[in-house]
Structure 1
Amino acid sequence: MTPVFSVQAQPTDAASWLELAIRCEQAGFDTLQAADHPGSCSAPSVALAAAAAVTSRIRLGAYVSNAGVREPIHLAADVVTLDVVSGGRARLGLGAGHTPAEWQAIGRDRPDVRGRVDRCLAVAEAVVALLNGETVTRHEPLLDMVEARLEAPRPVQERIPLTIGTANSRILRWAGEHADIVGLSGLGRTLEDGHRHEARWRTDQVDQQIAQVVAGAAGRAQPPALEALVQIVEVTDDAEAAAAPHAQRLGMSAADLLEAPFVMIGTGEEIRAALARHEKRWGISRYAVRANTIDAVVDAGLLTE
């Protein structure tokens, strides 16, 4: 089975962004994804709508929209509009958010972990309901909506695929039950700078994350696909030497790092073998990579059998 690859990127100027969208489609990437960090990166819906105009096949979605600071009606309107202008290629991507500055910018205090999880799940349920044509009223500590309805436009797709990006146990279980794709971020506790995270990359930690998804998916005829967010891609003839500085920084052995689904280090053959092990052990069949690693992914032959 050939893994499915997506690219996470953001525009810096019009020409290079449109060229990137065309290149990703022609190379065989499944989805072009845009991050969502209000104030420090481009608005994903605007960027992806521009990419839709110069492509015809590649799917388009935020990876992932911050459910903590964005309201369900806005999220639903953005993704359905993207679905319309792209001819039915939109994906809905949601996560709990973590960066304190993004809450401060809208005059809110960042909730604790439990509060962020509560908010994320409530927003996800509300957005899905809006996309399904339902009228939504919710009165909860972290979400208040009164007769919200998405009357127009309506999606082109019968169901816009939902990706949930997380490493949180509760969200992983919910995603196992409801999402089409579970984005395994491998990111633990937010560090003091408000941006970086502890890594949850050891195989036993990945086992625990997958177990939550499996528990949530019990009883589903079609469980969600699993997608790992790749942080490091390096094609090299000396994988252990290339992995060593990253492993030291993360407090892992090089051998353990090379088994993590969040890195791709080695020759093309070695990386493909690692991807096969990930699929066999965890069922991971999708990978999201950064734009600056496109050449490495293509050159290593990872997009073809």
Structure 2
Amino acid sequence: MVIFSVQARPTDAASWTDLARRVEAAGFDALLAADHPGHGASPFVSLAAAAAVTSTLGLGSYVSNAGVREPILLATDVATLDVVSGGRARLGLGAGHTPAEWRAVGRERPDVAGRVRRCVAVAEAVQALLAGEEVTVDIPELAAYAARLTELRPVQARVPLTMGTANSTLLRWAGAHADVVGLTGFGRTLPDGHMHEARWRADQIEAQLAHVTAGAAGRDAPPALEALVQQVTVTDDAEAAAAPTAERLGLTVAELLATPFVLIGTADEIVTAVAHHQRRWGITRFVVREDAVAPLTPVLSRLTIAE
């Protein structure tokens, strides 16, 4: 079965709770909140508000920056969300890429290897904390001593973990340990600290999936694969709609339309593309932005039919 979720952020209470209700009523799987301290709303406060007006909708961060989030605080937030939502919390983690977020907490952004080591350590610590274990970690990238959730337990036996990444080491780790691998298609962070080069060509996607497969060797069931969709446009002229993005990213229009990171075309073409991504890549989950809710709602039941 194919699953669609929505990533959004609140600007006011009324529109946020209305969005949560609409997303749930339309049949989306989850409402996900970005996590950029200082640049947007707190994901867990936002998701707790959404939990109060929904009953079945999954709720998660997408994704929390493991570079600036401490395991005990993150585990407390996730467990609390799981309690107040009745067991609907999700945890999304990533290594982080925005230098300003490190500087805001008094750190300088490490190199890629350092960010990856910290991300893995945070993921393992948070999972252990949510499982009720006491955690001590003392490595250059992370320190935590006798951390434990003493009076708080999540409702779920295991809060689902999504690792959002395009890094080879994290893809292998996610293949071995995560419930969902969030394929971002991100390459090198650009000088503005926010934007990225795109790794959207077929050979690049195949290389990413090879790391996931290698990591998943020996698992009874591999993790689900999820694509973060950057553009959804319902149109009768897919090539014209795709051309500006393709030019900006240095791709041909055909290359762009073939990636799982955009859904552009008529409703029928988008349904066909989703089925193609499921067959070719094994991608069964898609995360879209708030502006995609209205155009996708009329065809969501067609998009989520299993191949």
TM-score, normalised relative to structure 1:
0.98
Q: Does 1:220 align with 2:213?
A: no
Which segments of 5 or more consecutive residues in structure 2 lack a partner in the other structure? none
Aligned residue for 1:50?
A: 49
Count of paired positions: 304
1:168-191 CA distance string (max 9 Å, x none): 000000000000011001111100
Q: Does 1:127 align with 2:150?
A: no
Supply the distance in 2 between the matched residues of 1:151 and 1:31 (Cα, whole angstroms).
Answer: 29
Alignment of 1:147-296 (within 5 A): 147-296=146-295
The answer on whether the counterparts of 1:267 and 1:300 sit within 8 Å (CA) in structure 2 is no
1:151, CA displacement in angstroms? 1.4
Supply the distance in 1 between the matched residues of 2:298 and 2:25 (Cα, whole angstroms).
Answer: 14
Query: Structure 1 vs Structure 2: percent identity of aligned residues?
Result: 68
Aligned residue for 1:143?
A: 142
The answer on whether the counterparts of 1:34 and 1:62 sit within 8 Å (CA) in structure 2 is yes
Counterpart amino acid of 1:173?
R
Counterpart amino acid of 1:124?
A
The answer on whether the counterparts of 2:5 and 2:32 sit within 8 Å (CA) in structure 1 is yes
1:299, CA displacement in angstroms? 3.4
Aligned residue for 1:105?
A: 104
Counterpart amino acid of 1:175?
A
RMSD: 0.9
The answer on whether the counterparts of 2:271 and 2:303 sit within 8 Å (CA) in structure 1 is no
- Structure 2 counterpart SS, 1:55: coil
Supply the distance in 1 between the matched residues of 2:44 and 2:167 (Cα, whole angstroms).
Answer: 25
1:211-260 CA distance string (max 9 Å, x none): 11111111111111011000000011111111111111110110010000
Supply the distance in 1 between the matched residues of 2:62 and 2:287 (Cα, whole angstroms).
Answer: 9
The answer on whether the counterparts of 1:236 and 1:266 sit within 8 Å (CA) in structure 2 is yes
The answer on whether the counterparts of 1:29 and 1:303 sit within 8 Å (CA) in structure 2 is no
Counterpart amino acid of 2:278?
E
Supply the distance in 1 between the matched residues of 2:9 and 2:163 (Cα, whole angstroms).
Answer: 19
1:300, CA displacement in angstroms? 4.0
Which segments of 5 or more consecutive residues in structure 1 lack a partner in the other structure? none
1:304, CA displacement in angstroms? 5.0
Counterpart amino acid of 1:66?
N
1:296, CA displacement in angstroms? 1.5
Counterpart amino acid of 1:92?
L
The answer on whether the counterparts of 2:172 and 2:211 sit within 8 Å (CA) in structure 1 is yes
Supply the distance in 2 between the matched residues of 1:67 and 1:304 (Cα, whole angstroms).
Answer: 31
Supply the distance in 2 between the matched residues of 1:266 and 1:258 (Cα, whole angstroms).
Answer: 9
- Structure 1 counterpart SS, 2:87: coil
Aligned residue for 2:6?
A: 7
- Structure 2 counterpart SS, 1:133: coil
Q: Does 1:61 align with 2:81?
A: no
1:63-92 CA distance string (max 9 Å, x none): 001100010001100000000000000001
The answer on whether the counterparts of 1:28 and 1:303 sit within 8 Å (CA) in structure 2 is no
